[in-house]
Amino acid sequence: MHRGFALRWSHGTVAELLTGRNNSLGLLRLCLALAVVFSHARVLGYGGKEYLHTFSGGQADLGKLAVYGFFVLSGILVTRSGGRLSVGRFLWHRVLRILPGFWVCLAVAAFVVAPLLYWRLHSSLDGFDGAPHGPFHHLWVNWAVSTNEHDIAGVMADAHAAGRVHNEAFDGALWSLRYEFMCYLGVAALALTGILTRARRAVLLITLVLGWLVVRQASTDPFWAGPYDAHYLRNVHLPPFAPFTPSFLVYLGFAFALGALIEVYRERVPVSDPLGIASLVVLLASLHYGYLFTVGLPAFAYLLLWLAIRLPAPCHRIGAKHDYSYGIYIYGFLVQQTLALLGYARWGMAAYLALTLVLTFLLAAASWHLVERPAMRLKDLRIGRPRRDDDQPGRSIPAQRDQPTPLPAADPAPAAQP
């Protein structure tokens, strides 16, 4: 029904149309990941502002907008997973989706890229192993999805001082994974207490509270830049996520909650072409004229949902079987920093971006086929006595495969954080 191209007020509800694999969520995740890489190319390769920064009056840029899009999609998919799985198995699935790829990416940066770049800077590896904050220390302090240290053996600091790079982080895009995982824990808590399936108004209340915090900050400034201007909530230490910034959790959590709200009220959310087009207009208007986070973000959430359902059927195949989006996200920043330090940005934006995309796609494919997909095969591992099947007939949430979702995240380098 939703494959037709005729404009209609309503093609049905989300509950009817967003089922199985008949959607373009894989394509959307891939586009969001590529948007992050594209946006970072300008700042990492040339030290300029990211795309859309000027158009939005400093509210956001293309990379930040993609991050919020990731959180919205995660809110939909992860909430659906949390509603149909036991809490233990839900968390096990989330750990398998995030951590193996993350750990391998850290290892590649620490033991492959860092020595190469250290040698390029110093013409030898003397002092690399014994340098403060070396590769083993980098893995130790960052393993729990908490990027507490961004450089390795001072490589990027030295390169920045020499004018070879414009940012001192090896992989600044990893910072948002901690907030993604915090949202997972929130879904687990709602599922454990039964709120997710039996008291869904609580999800509405949580969304309204987070929305009120967002509106409160933007009420006096239409071009409020979200958590990047939010100094009212300072960094706090909460192991293993320490340090984290509560204001980031508020804004990213609001995006995640919008997706969760769509999922829990899926039978009441219409899939409407006029609403989809209107959401695009509202998003663009709020980007340029202000109040992006108060009105633009909810519009963006509906726009992504509408596109996932209404894009033509051939789009459904992209990313449905092989999901490279997470790999593109976690390796894109690392590849761009490496190429910038090696001097390839001097070839011009077109060549720099093309080389970035080729190498990033190769690493993302390797990550998916050698790490992520093999890890996800363990998701149904059972230890001890057999347990009841997680997918029970008659559950209130329609069955759907536990789709891997990239975190969120992609966004500014650590230097852009408050």
Of the candidates 359, 362, 372, 371, the one whose C-alpha atom is nearest the C-alpha of residue 406 is 372
Give the pLDDT confidence score for residue 5 in this predicted structure: 55
Between 406 and 51, name the one with better pLDDT: 51
| Residue 78, in any domain of the structure | yes
Tell me the pLDDT band of 418, cut-offs 50, 70 and 90: very low
pLDDT in tens, 107-129: 999 999 999 999 999 999 988 88
Give the pLDDT confidence score for residue 65 in this predicted structure: 96
φ, ψ of residue 236 in degrees (nearest 5): -125, 165
Give the pLDDT confidence score for residue 233 in this predicted structure: 55
- Please state the rounded mean pLDDT for residues 374-388: 73
Say if residue 243 is preceded by a cis peptide, omega within 30 of 0.
yes
Give the pLDDT confidence score for residue 230 in this predicted structure: 61
| Residue 351, in any domain of the structure | yes
Calpha distance 182→221 (Å, rounded): 29
Calpha distance 356→116 (Å, rounded): 17
| Residue 388, in any domain of the structure | no
Q: How many structural domains compose the chain? A: 1
pLDDT in tens, 291-307: 999 999 999 999 999 99
- Please state the rounded mean pLDDT for residues 254-269: 96
Tell me the pLDDT band of 1, cut-offs 50, 70 and 90: very low
Calpha distance 50→166 (Å, rounded): 13
Q: How far is CA 184 from CA 7, 107, 134, 371, in A?
A: 36, 24, 31, 21
Mean pLDDT across the chain: 87
CB count, 10 Å around CB of 330? 30
| Residue 306, in any domain of the structure | yes
- Please state the rounded mean pLDDT for residues 3-26: 80
| Residue 126, in any domain of the structure | yes
Between 411 and 242, name the one with better pLDDT: 242
Tell me the pLDDT band of 246, cut-offs 50, 70 and 90: confident
Give the pLDDT confidence score for residue 403 in this predicted structure: 37
CB 156 within 8 A of CB 250: no
Say if residue 115 is preceded by a cis peptide, omega within 30 of 0.
no
Give the pLDDT confidence score for residue 236 in this predicted structure: 63
Tokens 């633009």 identify what position?
Answer: 296
SS3 373: helix
Between 7 and 75, name the one with better pLDDT: 75
Least confident of 215-229, 251-265, 328-342, 402-416: 402-416
**Residues 374, 144, 356, 60, Cα dihedral to 10°:** 120
Angle, alpha carbons 314-61-411 (nearest 5°):
80
Looking at residue 401, its amino acid is R
Give the pLDDT confidence score for residue 242 in this predicted structure: 59
Give the pLDDT confidence score for residue 334 in this predicted structure: 98
What percent of the chain clears pLDDT 70, i.e. is strictly above it? 86
pLDDT in tens, 32-69: 999 999 999 999 999 989 999 999 999 999 999 999 99
- Please state the rounded mean pLDDT for residues 236-249: 72
| Residue 390, in any domain of the structure | no
Calpha distance 170→152 (Å, rounded): 7
Calpha distance 203→186 (Å, rounded): 11
| Residue 32, in any domain of the structure | yes
- Which residue segment(s) compose the domain that 230 sits in? 14-379+399-416
CB 344 within 8 A of CB 355: yes
Reply yes or no on whether the pLDDT at 413 is more than 80. no
pLDDT in tens, 147-179: 888 999 999 999 999 999 999 999 999 988 999
Reply yes or no on whether the pLDDT at 407 is more than 80. no
The whole model's pTM is what? 0.87
Give the pLDDT confidence score for residue 217 in this predicted structure: 84
| Residue 124, in any domain of the structure | yes
Of the candidates 18, 118, 108, 152, the one whose C-alpha atom is nearest the C-alpha of residue 341 is 118
